[in-house]
Amino acid sequence: MKQQLDEIRRQAADSLASITSASALEAFRIEFLGKKGRLTEVLRGMGGLSAEERPVIGQLANEVRSFIEEQIAKLSEDLENAALEQRLAEERIDITMPGSKRPLGKKHPLTSVLDELKDIFIGMGFSIAEGPEVELDYYNFEALNLPKGHPARDTQDTFYINENVLLRTQTSPVQIRVMEKQKPPIKIIAPGRVYRSDAVDATHSPLFHQIEGLVVDKGITMGDLKGTLEAFCKKLYGEDTKIRLRPHHFPFTEPSCELDISCPACNGKGCRVCKGEGWIELLGAGMVHPRVLETCGIDPSVYSGFAFGIGLERTVMRRFDIDDLRLFYENNLRFLKQF
């Protein structure tokens, strides 16, 4: 049996010298140390040894097992290091090579013009206010002097979650929330997405953007509204821009008006852009209705205010002579790269 153990040690040493892969090393381990391995088969025969021979053969068998296990561990580490070196060599990156260029994005035309509008109003002392797009009927209609059943609601048909929760049709609810929480003086603009149940065509979309403004303080007049909007239009379209106010009706302002600007394309002479009229409708505005002020806890006998609303998409369409609103949402790079 001693000769068998010596032979196993010699054969193991010879076999280890020729192993070059992890799979071959595992096969070697099973061959010599597995349940049916060579060393295991020898140890099963120890039952036939005398009491004097067992300790000697047992010690020798443990030495052979330890030798084989140590050699397996050493060779396994060597193989792992060799595999790592090979992988590092194959995956080496030449850091001196130029990298691949990534295309740089730019601002969407809606975002670009919105940022410009914000800068204009911030320069005039306005601050920016935001509010939820999923709104209560109270803030979207009732607090704005549009009770349930009011015919003006028909032009602002929207998407209802339930009877009292809806997607806002304008950013006016932000004005209400600001007036409820903040005492005058108030001077804010409220930009954001709004929703209406409109069929999609060249000038309508169920989703669009508004920028609404609100000023409330003592002694605010229609003259302040006209001066603010005239300064805004000149800044946006040029110092030669002229404005005119036409009477209109909005339930939440009294008196109300619509503002037109002289056509930037023909300077008021009449052309295709303005359909020969020389004027282009830009926005709606008016003095805040006293009932709206009262609803928000502001005394209309002490304070007055004005409000206005600008449609962002139509402003951008006029700025860049775009004739189809759908182009803003189609993500067509041929269109967007023009800006």
**Residue 102, domain member (yes or no):** no
Highest mean pLDDT among 12-21, 50-59, 151-160, 214-223: 214-223
pLDDT at 57 over 80: no
Share of the chain above pLDDT 90, in %: 46
- Single residue among 41, 63, 90 that ends a domain in this structure: 90
188 and 216 Cβ atoms separated by less than 8 Å? no
More confident residue, 338 or 215: 215
Share of the chain above pLDDT 70, in %: 95
Q: Which of 162-166, 193-197, 274-278 has the lowest mean pLDDT?
A: 274-278
**Residue 95, domain member (yes or no):** no
Q: Which of 238-252, 264-278, 304-318 has the lowest mean pLDDT?
A: 264-278
315 and 113 Cβ atoms separated by less than 8 Å? yes
pLDDT at 32 over 80: no
CATH number at residue 164: 3.30.930.10
Average pLDDT over residues 70-82: 86
Sign of CA dihedral 190, 193, 198, 200: positive
pLDDT band at 158, cuts 50/70/90?
confident
pLDDT band at 5, cuts 50/70/90?
confident
Clarify whether residues 70 and 116 are in a common domain.
no
d(CA 61, CA 224): 104
Reported as a single tens digit per residue, the pLDDT across 254-274 is: 999 999 988 877 777 887 767
Clarify whether residues 208 and 263 are in a common domain.
yes
pLDDT at 176: 96
What's the gap between Cα 290 and its chain centre?
Answer: 39
Clarify whether residues 164 and 250 are in a common domain.
yes
193 and 130 Cβ atoms separated by less than 8 Å? no
Q: Which of 77-91, 132-146, 156-170 has the lowest mean pLDDT?
A: 77-91
pLDDT at 53 over 80: no
Clarify whether residues 35 and 123 are in a common domain.
no
- Single residue among 90, 117, 136 that ends a domain in this structure: 90
Average pLDDT over residues 271-286: 84
**Residue 104, domain member (yes or no):** no
Clarify whether residues 17 and 124 are in a common domain.
no
**Residue 99, domain member (yes or no):** no
Average pLDDT over residues 310-337: 89
Clarify whether residues 124 and 166 are in a common domain.
yes
For 291, half-sphere exposure in the C-beta direction (CA atoms, 13 angstrom radius) is 13
Mean pLDDT of the chain: 87
Q: Measuring CA to CA, which residue among 277, 259, 255, 260 is closest to residue 268?
A: 277
**Residue 96, domain member (yes or no):** no
What's the gap between Cα 105 and its chain centre?
Answer: 14
Total number of domains constituting the chain: 2
pLDDT at 246: 94
Torsion of CA 244, 293, 224, 117, to 10 degrees: -70
**Residue 72, domain member (yes or no):** yes
Highest mean pLDDT among 18-27, 70-79, 182-191: 182-191
pLDDT at 191: 96
pLDDT at 47: 61
Reported as a single tens digit per residue, the pLDDT across 226-235 is: 999 999 999 9
- Single residue among 90, 120, 140 that ends a domain in this structure: 90
Clarify whether residues 63 and 184 are in a common domain.
no
Average pLDDT over residues 159-187: 94
**Residue 190, domain member (yes or no):** yes
pLDDT band at 35, cuts 50/70/90?
confident
pLDDT at 45 over 70: no
pLDDT at 217 over 90: yes
Clarify whether residues 134 and 80 are in a common domain.
no
112 and 105 Cβ atoms separated by less than 8 Å? no
127 and 188 Cβ atoms separated by less than 8 Å? yes
pLDDT at 308: 96
Q: Measuring CA to CA, which residue among 25, 12, 9 is closest to residue 64?
A: 9
Q: Give residue 61's domain range.
A: 2-90
More confident residue, 213 or 319: 213
pLDDT at 69 over 90: no
- Cα-flanking dihedrals φ and ψ of residue 14, to 5°? -65, -40
- Retrieve residue 331's tokens: 């993500």
Clarify whether residues 49 and 144 are in a common domain.
no
pLDDT band at 197, cuts 50/70/90?
confident
Clarify whether residues 199 and 84 are in a common domain.
no
**Residue 97, domain member (yes or no):** no
Clarify whether residues 20 and 118 are in a common domain.
no
Average pLDDT over residues 86-111: 84
Clarify whether residues 300 and 270 are in a common domain.
yes
